[in-house]
A and B are shown apart, each in its own frame.
Chain A
């Protein structure tokens, strides 16, 4: 963790406030806290915010808010980022049908780690994960807290098409594909939940800071969820 956050230039209309350079729950908590403070401040000239693992991306309009003023606003927030937000994060349950056609890489992961498929499922369902960031595609949640015994590198060849709802593992992360997209994560299951639906009033099921728990379900329940 940096002793003082670094302000990095991202062109003439954005900066990145970097708290550290590793994946770490505390660094990520600081990022999300600064995000919450700036968002609730409704500062004119700050046009977009994007919290990631270890830094907060801030886009601004220099016509309305100068770089110096922006840095001033951020510095005023920094003394408060180490204190908890006061509001509890939501815990959201995600039903998952593991293995088979929904999780084509489950057997391989089990073999790689010398585990049975059931043990992999057990280890994957046990933790309460936290959403570290959303990115890659609309609503793609990067979850921190994966059991060390399941850390697995990405696939050598990415798939041209990964179905929406697929649950994957890449290194120390696990995540959910919100839309059909290409992808290189190891797929272990699929949820029938619509993680992202632009037609919904609230298109996104998850946001940064939320907690997620996976619940294993059978194929029949998957079908029941999927049918309208």
Chain B
């Protein structure tokens, strides 16, 4: 059986794919890779036809041993990475032999992290993806291999990866490419990203003053940033009639305003419904930038139309389909 052995998982590593579709009506969150573009491009690089499950690695400190000959790719927030001690590049396919050891992020990174008291080093980004030819082949739960930690299902037993875990790997379906990923498909990660948003669904509950604040001021990422959402701090967003609404559907990217008039960007594991005003939604092309936000980073929001967002979406899909050919 093809597999990889987890030697060190780092602070948090989970199995993720595109996410769990068709169960929102039953309260099951989407889950899936926070930075779906990174996992998707990684999959294309190793010759997978679709988004096969990979490993979402948080910050680094991850070491694994290949138990088969296979191609693999690293994507997302770039880190020092080594195959048997030799440095390797992100965003391109590599060939591993049975017994090879891959390590991501060195000890100096972990020390810098500790020195900053729980804040990752600035500008590093947070999430790294390991894609493997054939994908991580665990049994799907409700149609997906994504781990939903709070629900305790999906991925490997619904939990984070631990040292000694063996992850089965599927049979390769395509051949890995030799070229690195085209620059246009690599998100432009930043510690001060401008996030493009479409106003709504409850922008009518925000005063004009609140809207102009939202689209002009910087918001800082707080320590409450995880797979459920990224809580921000900054100038208050003035609402008409309070922050509570009758609960309606939510999705990753929705920017909700809580009772303290502060925004939170919902993320992959967010609840399926929520009772706070949602002022705007980050477009899907910019969700990878949200996935890489770390405490201390600062974001600003730009308003774009649905039509502009659609052009961006379709162009990305087109490029991915070209790469697939």
Residues of A at the B interface (CB closer than 8 Å) are 8-14, 16, 18, 21-23, 35, 47-57, 59, 62-63, 66-67, 133-140, 142, 178-179, 181, 198, 203-204, 207-208
Given A133-B273, A140-B27, A198-B141, 6 more contacts at CB 8 Å?
A10-B200, A11-B281, A12-B283, A14-B249, A35-B25, A63-B314
Within the complex, which residue of A13, A56, A137 is in contact with B284, where a contact is CB–CB below 8 Å?
A: A13
Q: Which of A12, A48, A134, A204 counts the most chain B CB atoms within 10 A?
A: A12
Partner of A11, one of B24, B141, B246, B254: B254
CA distance A152 to B118 in the complex (A): 40
Contact partner, A16, options B21, B22, B249, Cβ 8 Å: B249
Q: Please state if B22 and A54 are interface contacts (CB–CB under 8 Å).
A: no
Contact B151 A179 (CB under 8 A): yes
* B246-A57 in contact (CB<8A): no
Partner of B201, one of A9, A47, A51, A203: A9
With CB as the reference atom, state the residue of chain A lying closest to B310.
A62
By size class, the interface of chain B is: 35 or more
B195, chain A: closest CB distance, angstroms: 11
**Does B313 lie within 8 Å of A62, measured CB to CB?**
yes
Which residues of B128-154 are within 8 A (CB) of A?
Answer: 141-142, 150-153
- Whether B317 is near chain A, meaning CB under 8 Å from some CB there, is yes
Residue of chain B at shortest CB distance from A55: B248
Chain A residues near B306: list those with CB within 8 A. Answer: 9, 12, 67
B-to-A contact residues, CB < 8 Å: 21-30, 141-142, 150-153, 158, 197-202, 245-251, 253-254, 271-273, 278, 281-285, 306, 309-310, 312-314, 317
Residues of A with C-beta under 8 A to B273: 50, 52, 57, 133, 135-136
Contact residue among B24, B142, B313 (Cβ-Cβ distance under 8 Å from A13): B313
CA distance A137 to B25 in the complex (A): 11
**What is the CA–CA distance of A53 and B248 in the complex, to the nearest angstrom?**
7
* Distance of A8 Cα from B202 Cα, bound (Å): 8
Chain B residues with CB under 8 Å of A54's CB are 246, 248
Q: How many A-B residue pairs have CB under 8 A?
A: 141
Partner of A133, one of B151, B202, B247: B247
**A62 and B247: CB pair below 8 A?**
no
Q: Chain A residues near B278 (CB, 8 Å)?
A: 10
In the complex, are the beta carbons of A52 and B251 less than 8 A apart?
no
How far, in whole Å, are A47 and B251 apart by their CA atoms in the complex? 13
In the complex, chain B residues whose CB is within 8 Å of the CB of A51: 25
Asked if A136 and B27 make an inter-chain contact with CB atoms under 8 angstroms apart, the answer reads yes
Within the complex, what minimum Cβ distance (angstroms) separates A28 from chain B? 10
B197's nearest neighbour on chain A, judged by CB, is A11
Q: Determine whether the beta carbon of B317 is less than 8 Å from that of A137.
A: no
For the complex formed, measure the closest distance between the CB of B23 and the CB atoms of chain A, giving whole angstroms. Answer: 8
**Candidate in A11, A13, A55, A57 with the most chain B CB atoms within 10 angstroms:** A11
19 intermolecular pairs with C-beta atoms under 8 Å apart: A9-B306, A11-B198, A12-B306, A13-B313, A21-B245, A22-B246, A47-B21, A52-B247, A52-B273, A54-B248, A57-B248, A135-B247, A137-B150, A138-B27, A138-B29, A138-B151, A142-B247, A178-B27, A181-B150
Q: A18-B248, A48-B21, A179-B152 are in contact. Are A12 and B27 (CB under 8 A)?
A: no
Query: A22 contacts which chain B residues (CB < 8 A)?
Result: 246
Q: Which residue of B lies closest to A57 (CB)?
A: B249
The answer to whether A11 and B25 touch across the interface, beta carbons within 8 angstroms, is no
